[in-house]
Amino acid sequence: MRCRALLIFTLALILILPSTSSFAKTKKCQHTKKKVCYTTQKKAKQTASVKKYRKKAKKYNKKRLRKASRKYRRQYYSAFTARSAIVLDADTNDIYFAKDPYLPLQPASTIKIVTGLLALKNLDENDPVRVSHYAQTAPPQKAYLRCGEVYPAIDLIYATLLHSANDASRALAEKIAGSEEEFAQIMTQTVHALGAKNTVCRTSSGLTAPGQCTTAYDLAVIFKKAMQDEKFSNILKTRKFEIHGGKFVVNHNKALWQVEGAEGGKTGFTRAAQRTYVGMFKRNNRTIVIAFLGSENLWSDVRYLVRKAFTDVRPTIQAAKTKRDVSSI
């Protein structure tokens, strides 16, 4: 009996133990699974909160950056950067602003107003102008004229005054005077006759040359006289013009569509001259001419001088010693 009981007991243990062990395993497995699920959920929540925090921090930093950049822009744009400048009333010759207006500096492409004016006076619109190798190789701003090709004079005048093309200005100079050196002498005599006594021209394009110089006052005087020529003023008001060969030349004077009352103007840039500008603006039956040389921020300085002229009640001569000395308007 005892042996039978022991046998039954052992058989029962054999049958029961595997099931209990498997139950334990499944329980353990379920437990571990639950644990894994809990930790992954916790980690997911943590990562979501971290992402949310980072997103908020990014937005906050962007706002701070925007505010800082606005503050910097306000400070920078309110500062006047040109080395020499003048604002002249075109009707009364009153000076609304002046900063070293008689300081001789390189004019850059603003001197092309003289080239364009002489071309309009000495050439008919359809006069053929042949492009030489010297004209074609003019650096760096070009209308990409081809050596040996013939262009109507009016196309080259538009390319010179709107697109500031150095190759076009050289071609015009050679057509009128035979060489750029001879033409530069005619330019100097012309500007002296107009009243710009401190201007000396050495090139038709305004590219840096030893001995070449002008002043802000001289530029304003030349431009004021040039704008009395109807053809000249109409060209400077043009935004875009198609020249021979299907090429388009675009006006570099952005003030035409960015600044109220812009009548026309000419920009310039070389490393030696920095940014230069001369232009005419009309508001409320008042016409002003602004000119400046040696600028670091061209369009900011244009806007500053225009605001200065049209907000001042009385004409005043004001000199700015440094960039930060000029208060914003």
CB-count burial class (<10 Å; 0-12, 13-18, 19+) for 22: exposed
Dist CA 26 CA 34 (whole Å): 12
Q: Which of 80, 102, 86, 77 is nearest to 292 (CA)?
A: 86
**8 Å CB contact between 133 and 121:** no
**8 Å CB contact between 135 and 145:** yes
What DSSP element (H or E) covers 283?
Answer: strand 274-283
Handedness of CA 120, 123, 125, 129 (dihedral sign): negative
Q: Identify how many contiguous H helices and E strands the chain contains and give both numbers.
A: 10, 9
Dist CA 35 CA 266 (whole Å): 76
Residues forming the active site:
109, 112, 164
Between helix 153-161 and helix 166-177 the angle, nearest 10°, is: 130
> Residue 116 has which token pair?
């364009």
Q: Which of 184, 189, 139 is nearest to 164 (CA)?
A: 139
Number of Cβ within a 10 Å radius of residue 171: 30
Q: Which of 69, 70, 72, 82 is nearest to 297 (CA)?
A: 82
Residue 221 phi, psi dihedral angles, 5° rounding:
-65, -45
